[in-house]
């Protein structure tokens, strides 16, 4: 069996909970060096401490992905500390659902800043290091809602369709540099994502639906591990997965 995870330096944004935390744990257990970025400093520091105590290698760096300089610092610190960056997981994301007629413009701005611009800032920070050594892997997170529109999710869908578009463009442009590009689109996964839905009626409705079918965040972590673990000449470009019970 190919072991292409052992010893890799993996930078993860949105690592304080949910899919990011689960992926950090899973990859660290398989021998990766994980560099954790998130706004919630206490959470990622505890996660890094837990992983280190278990004999793994981990580092926590407080990072707000809407701040380009902070994202650059996250990546540069990983390179300074461990000599390189092998994988960047652009995982940070928000999903404050609401009908467009409610004109939650501040929420639109935040989703664009985190879901799209945050992903772009990660790419911008990682590319020079990966291009220099002609090796690397950038994993961006879209959603089932990056493939289809859902109720009250128009702007969120737009950001996640955008992540898929920029991922494919990146793949094409990075072929000469041997940089792999993957976009992962999860369906209903049990995370804290729904807690940030500000509209109470939409939040309760969505939580009720998701709670009945959601699969654990470890399923997302396994998808990341699958893509990373493939040999360097194999580029897993897109993974779309859902709970078996999810009809949409």
Distances in Å between the Cα of 29 and the Cα atoms of 2, 23, 25 are 16, 10, 6
* Catalytic residue status for 121: no
Residues in CB range of 40: below 8 A, 6 or more apart: 16, 17
- DSSP H stretches of helix in 9-67: 18-29, 41-53
Question: Among 121, 145, 156, 177, which one carries the catalytic annotation?
Answer: 156
Let me know: does 178 contact 134? Beta carbons within 8 Å. Answer: yes
Let me know: does 72 contact 123? Beta carbons within 8 Å. Answer: no
Task: Give the integer Cα–Cα distance in Å for 220 and 201.
Answer: 27
* H-run or E-run covering 61: strand 57-62
Distances in Å between the Cα of 31 and the Cα atoms of 6, 52, 133, 145 are 4, 12, 22, 32
Looking at the annotation, which residues are catalytic? 156
């Amino acid at each position: 069996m190919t072991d292409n995870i052992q010893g890799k330096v993996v930078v993860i944004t949105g690592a304080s909970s949910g899919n990011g935390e689960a992926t950090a744990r899973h990859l660290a257990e398989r021998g990766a060096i994980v560099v954790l970025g998130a706004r919630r400093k206490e959470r990622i520091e505890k996660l890094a401490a837990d992983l280190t105590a278990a004999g793994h290698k981990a580092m926590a760096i407080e990072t707000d992905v809407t701040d380009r300089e902070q994202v650059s610092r996250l990546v540069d610190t990983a390179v300074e500390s461990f000599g390189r960056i092998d994988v960047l997981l652009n995982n940070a994301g928000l999903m404050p659902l609401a009908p467009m007629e409610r004109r939650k413009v501040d929420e639109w701005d935040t989703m664009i800043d985190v879901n799209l611009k945050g992903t772009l800032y990660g790419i911008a920070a990682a590319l020079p290091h990966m291009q220099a050594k002609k090796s690397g892997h950038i994993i961006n997170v879209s959603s089932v809602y990056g493939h289809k529109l859902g109720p009250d999710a128009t702007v969120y869908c737009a950001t996640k369709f955008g992540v898929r578009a920029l991922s494919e463009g990146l793949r094409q442009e990075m072929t000469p540099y041997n940089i792999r590009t993957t976009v992962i689109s999860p369906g209903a996964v049990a995370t804290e994502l729904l807690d940030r839905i500000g509209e109470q009626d939409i939040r309760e409705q969505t939580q009720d639906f998701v709670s009945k079918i959601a699969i654990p965040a470890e399923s997302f972590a396994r998808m990341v591990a699958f893509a990373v673990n493939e040999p360097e000449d194999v580029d897993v470009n897109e993974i779309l997965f859902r709970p078996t019970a999810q009809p949409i």
